[in-house]
Amino acid sequence: MDSADKMVFRYDNAPHHPEVATHPHHKHIRGEERPKQSEEIGLRDVFLEIEAMIVR
Helix or strand (DSSP H, E) at 43:
helix 43-55
Whole-angstrom Cα distance, residue 56 to residue 8? Answer: 15
What pLDDT score was predicted for residue 8?
A: 95
Whole-angstrom Cα distance, residue 39 to residue 36? Answer: 10
Q: For 45, how many CA atoms within 13 A lie in the half-sphere containing its CB?
A: 9
What pLDDT score was predicted for residue 56?
A: 75
What pLDDT score was predicted for residue 37?
A: 97
Mean pLDDT, each 10-residue run in order, the chain (56 residues): 94 96 97 96 96 89
| Cis geometry, peptide bond prior to residue 35 (ω within 30 degrees of 0) | no
What pLDDT score was predicted for residue 26?
A: 98
What pLDDT score was predicted for residue 11?
A: 97
Do residues 40 and 20 make contact, with C-beta atoms less than 8 angstroms apart? no
